[in-house]
C-alpha cells in the first residue's frame, strides 16, 4: 500500500497497518534542516512522509488593493464590493502547483493544497479588528462579500482538483484560545453557508476536504460535520479540545490531523516531556482516523536535534 492509498483509507475510517506521518517543518527551520539533511525535501524523504502540503495558485485580491494593504490603508466592505477579483481560471497560475505535484507524486504522497476560507483571508484585507467590527455593523454587505469569496474559492478548488490534488485544505482560523472569534449565530448565518458552497463543489468531484483552524472550535463541530469536512487540523488540545472528546463523540464523523503540539511540547528542549507526549498521543490515537502531524509550523526555537529526536520516535511508533 503506498502513501496515498494509506491516507485515503485512514480518512475513510478503514483499518491500516501503520499511521501516516507528516509535519509542518519548513517555514521556520528550512536553514537548519538543510544544513543537516541537504534540503527540506531530503528530510521529507528520509522520514518517508506520507503527505505533502502544497501552496500556490492565483490570488484573489487585485494588485491595487494589495498596494493599499501594504500601505496599511483602511479597506471597507463597500470598496471590496466595488472591486473585481482576479480570474481563478488562468491556468498558468497553477504551474507551481503542477510542479509540486510532480515531485510528490513521484513519491506516491497524498497531496493536499492550502486554499482560502471565508474569514481568515479577509482578515488580511480588512485587518482582524476591522473585520470583526464589519461583521457586526454591516452584516448584509459582509454576507455578499463572503458569498463572492466562496464562489471564487470554489472555482479555485475545482481547478486544483482537475490538475490532480487529492484534498482541498481550507485555512480559516475561527478559534481563540477558549472560544470562537465570533458568535455561533454569526457563524451559522455568515460563515457556514459559504463554506458549504465550497464543500459542495469539492464533494461533487469526489475529493477530500479538510479544515485548518487554530484555537477552540468545539462549538462549531456540528457545523463542521454538516459542511462535510473529512478531517480537521489541528484539533488543538492546548485550546481545550481533548482527544477524549474526539474519540467519544466525533471519530465516526471525521478524521483529525495533528498530535504534536508546537505551543506546548516541541521546541522547548524538554526531551523527556516530548517523548512522553508523543507516546501518549500514539497510545490514544494510533489505529484511529488520525494523520500524525505538527499542530502548526514548527517554531524557530526548536533545534534540529530536537526535531530529529521527535521524528525518529514518531517513525518508530507509526510503523510499529
Could you tell me where in the chain the CATH 3.20.20.210 domains are found? 51-233
CA distance 113 to 233: 13
Q: Which residues partner with 259 through β-bridges?
A: 293
**Tens of pLDDT, residue by residue, the chain (320 residues):** 999 999 999 999 999 999 999 999 999 999 999 999 999 999 999 999 999 999 999 999 999 999 999 999 999 999 999 999 999 999 999 999 999 999 999 999 999 999 999 999 999 999 999 999 999 999 999 999 999 999 999 999 999 999 999 999 999 999 999 999 999 999 999 999 999 999 999 999 999 999 999 999 999 999 999 999 999 999 999 999 999 999 999 999 999 999 999 999 999 999 999 999 999 999 999 999 999 999 999 999 999 999 999 999 999 999 98
Q: What per-residue confidence (pLDDT) applies to 220? A: 95
pTM for the whole structure: 0.96
Listing from the earlier edge strand, what are the strands of the sheet with 231-233?
51-54, 110-116, 167-171, 208-212, 231-233, 255-260, 290-294
- Look at the block and give the residue holding cell 502547483: 97
Q: What per-residue confidence (pLDDT) applies to 11? A: 97
Tell me how crowded residue 31 is: count the other CB atoms within 10 A of its CB: 10
- Overall fold of domain 51-233: TIM Barrel (3.20.20)
Q: What per-residue confidence (pLDDT) applies to 320? A: 83
Amino acid at each position: 500500500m503506498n502513501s496515498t492509498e494509506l491516507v485515503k483509507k485512514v480518512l475513510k475510517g478503514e483499518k491500516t497497518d501503520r499511521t501516516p506521518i507528516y509535519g509542518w517543518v519548513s517555514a521556520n527551520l528550512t536553514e537548519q534542516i538543510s544544513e543537516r539533511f541537504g534540503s527540506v525535501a531530503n528530510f521529507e524523504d528520509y522520514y518517508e512522509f506520507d503527505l505533502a502540503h502544497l501552496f500556490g495558485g492565483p490570488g484573489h485580491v487585485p494588485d491595487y488593493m494589495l498596494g493599499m494593504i501594504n500601505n496599511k490603508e483602511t479597506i471597507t466592505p463597500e470598496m471590496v464590493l466595488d472591486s473585481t477579483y482576479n480570474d481563478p481560471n488562468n491556468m498558468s497560475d497553477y504551474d507551481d502547483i503542477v510542479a509540486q505535484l510532480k515531485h510528490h507524486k513521484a513519491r506516491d504522497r497524498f497531496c493536499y493544497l492550502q486554499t482560502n476560507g471565508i474569514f481568515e483571508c479577509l482578515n488580511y484585507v480588512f485587518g482582524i479588528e476591522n473585520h470583526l467590527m464589519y461583521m457586526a455593523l454591516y452584516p448584509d454587505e459582509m454576507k455578499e462579500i463572503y458569498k463572492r469569496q466562496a464562489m471564487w474559492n470554489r472555482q479555485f478548488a475545482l481547478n486544483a482538483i482537475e490538475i490532480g490534488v487529492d484534498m482541498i485544505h481550507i485555512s480559516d482560523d475561527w478559534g481563540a484560545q477558549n472560544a470562537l472569534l465570533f458568535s455561533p449565530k454569526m457563524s451559522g448565518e455568515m460563515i457556514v453557508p459559504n463554506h458549504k458552497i465550497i464543500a459542495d463543489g469539492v464533494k461533487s468531484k469526489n475529493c477530500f476536504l479538510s479544515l485548518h483552524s487554530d484555537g477552540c472550535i468545539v462549538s462549531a463541530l456540528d457545523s463542521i460535520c454538516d459542511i462535510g469536512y473529512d478531517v480537521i487540523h489541528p484539533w488543538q488540545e492546548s485550546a481545550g479540545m481533548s482527544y477524549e472528546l474526539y474519540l467519544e463523540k466525533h471519530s465516526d464523523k471525521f478524521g483529525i490531523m495533528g498530535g504534536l503540539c508546537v505551543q506546548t511540547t516541541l521546541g522547548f528542549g524538554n526531551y523527556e516531556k516530548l517523548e512522553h507526549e508523543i507516546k501518549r498521543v500514539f497510545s490514544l490515537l494510533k489505529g484511529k482516523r488520525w494523520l500524525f502531524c505538527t499542530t502548526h509550523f514548527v517554531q524557530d526555537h526548536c533545534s534540529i536535534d530536537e526535531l530529529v529526536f521527535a521524528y525518529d520516535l514518531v517513525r518508530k511508533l507509526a510503523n510499529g
